[in-house]
Amino acid sequence: MINQIADPLLALPRPAKRLLALGVDALLCLLTVWLALCLRLDNWVIPQGNQWLAMGLSLVLALPVFVVSGLYRAIFRYAGMAALMAVTKAIVLYGLLYAALLAVLVLPGVPRTLGLLQPPLLLLAVGASRAVARYWLSGGYLSRLKRNALPKVLIYGAGSAGNQLAAAMANSNEMRAVGFLDDDTRLHGNVLNGLNIYNPSQLHDLVQSLEVSDVLLAIPSTSRQRRNEILELTRQAHVAVRTLPGLMDLAQGHVHASDLRELDIEDLLGRDAVPPNASLFAKNIHGKVVLVTGAGGSIGSELCRQIIKAGPTKLLLVELSEFALYAVHQDLMKLLVDMEPSNLQLLPLLASVRDEARMREIMQTWKPHTVYHAAAYKHVPMVEHNPAEGVKNNVLGTWTTAKVAAENGVSDFVLISTDKAVRPTNVMGTSKRLAEMVLQAFAAASKELGWRTRFGMVRFGNVLGSSGSVVPLFRKQIRDNGPITLTHADITRYFMTIPEAAQLVIQAGAMTSGGDVFVLDMGEPVRIIDLARRMVELSGLTVRDDAKPDGDIAIQITGLRPGEKLYEELLIGDNPLPTQHPRIMKAHEDFVPWYELSSRLQVLIAALNANDVPAIRGLLKELVPGYQPDGAVVDWVYLAAEQENLNLPVLKAAYSPAQLLVA
């Protein structure tokens, strides 16, 4: 309430403030003369006759003295000891003049001692008024200055969420709302919570006139298509964008300013997610024991979160990294606390998918019904520099885990694959395609081997927010004022959110009849340079290039890394078959029969154990049609040994042929 009174006073021009101070002092003069009369006469009196003249004399003397003494040149909110001394000197001078004048005039009805009583009272009153002004106005003024200096924002959405957000921001020390934008034409020109509601088409002009730095999206229930249209509008207006969580995240409580977060990149790229098919989602999970390898990774951990929702009895978390296993276990335990009471048992298990004995021990103990195999080395340049380890983990790890799963009666085994497996130019993609071929061969030979396991593969592109994703890298580079580093101006990629990818993996796995390669509908591929530009512009900044040399953030082209492709594909062949889910297709991919593939893999294993990288690349070319290595060998160990003319010893095989052969 006090600040509401102070704000209009502080907003007055300086002459008006001086007149106001003069008026207050005049009132104090009258008040103290009356109070002095009451004290002298020892009674509450109503001024009469010459007593009014005494009051007038006080005004005539005091105000000119105060003006000449410079009392109204001081800024009251900063008034200190010096100002108080000036007030004291002025009132002492006034007091001498006033007392002398009353003594000379000898006004009937006016005690001469009034000239001695009133000046001290006036000193107390004026001094107190200055102290109150300092205490009251300094805080209000500083608060006003601070608030005026806050970034000014517009709230997009004048509905319930926007209204709550504006109310929450009233006391925010981070930003200040100066208006609403809303698509409803009936609201334009109205006022909500003291803020005008504007037409979104005015955004560009409003950014200039209101000095807006950010637009806050308070439209949690809008469609992704409309959100993208709004983001394009804000991008052209060169303002930063922040958003509230989705509708379901807000359902449990009120909107707070702290709920605002950086714009999720899926808001820029994605489509409206298709709700999961409940029967498919629960088919291989509900009431069953489920195992996830690579449970601590970006895809593996999200798979675990989605699996928990479907109600398994046990969830086995298999992970090689101790820290990653600890982190995902803690995360899932927190999720369980917020869910309805259940008997779900979470089991964090340290293991390598290449360790056959350990994987057999785990599967014999808990007899999982479904296995989601997400464990893989997936960073293209890293695997290119360490090819033998990449192939061992991605191919032999899949081989070992799938074989042990089948021998222990697992009903469904689902491999998480990648679009980089299609016509690969790098070892990582080739190893994932070879892992697919192992499962395809297993599926075809299942009857001969006496297995009942259904093997399925799900292939998709980049997921937003995964380890190695460009999105967090670009975001960090923008915060650091650039430059944004990009390997090639024409590079394109498919993108999907991690939750949507995990849900589709689960549903695709439930549709497999054995040996199926499922492909997720990733939408349209995105040019990474366009993504970088949009991220810069939606941060309220501009890209520095030839057309705008004074821009904020530069984009630096660094050149393609080893094994990196300009674009990715999802299908090797053509004409994918539809499935019962609109976002999942079934591909027809050729493979090598197991009896032939197994013997050729033995030769690959020998090359892997010797780290004979040229031989490894040659064997991968023979095994995986379409693999075209891009560039020379870049394996660190191989290059160092070659430079030093070292003969590397053949490493002892981690797996013997007897262990690997199942046919």
Residues with a known catalytic role: 420
Sort 532 into a burial class: Cβ within 10 Å, 0-12 / 13-18 / 19+: buried
Report which DSSP code applies to 621. H
Q: Which two tokens stand for residue 468?
A: 């190695």
Q: What separation, in Å, do the N-terminal and C-terminal C-alpha atoms of the chain show?
A: 85
Contacts of 524 (CB under 8 A, 6+ apart): none
Residue 168: burial class (beta carbons within 10 Å; 0-12, 13-18, 19+): middle
Per DSSP (E only), the strands in 139-294 are 152-156, 176-181, 191-192, 195-198, 212-217, 240-243, 261-262, 289-293
Closest to 378 measured CA to CA, from 426, 324, 327: 426
Is 318 within 8 Å of 294 (Cβ atoms)? yes
The two three-digit tokens of residue 488, written as one number: 């090639």
Tokens 């309220």 found at = 540
Give the whole-angstrom CA distance, residue 279 versus residue 511.
Answer: 11
Distance CA 358, CA 414 (A): 20
DSSP 433-458: HHHHHHHHHHHHHHHHHT--PEEEEE
Q: Are 424 and 571 in contact (CB under 8 A)?
A: no
Q: Is 81 exposed, middle or buried (0-12, 13-18, 19+ CB in 10 A)?
A: exposed
Order of strands across the sheet that contains 240-243: 191-192, 195-198, 176-181, 152-156, 212-217, 240-243, 261-262
Per DSSP bridges, beta strands 454-459 and 261-262 are unpaired
What sign does the dihedral 7-8-9-15 (CA atoms) show?
Answer: positive
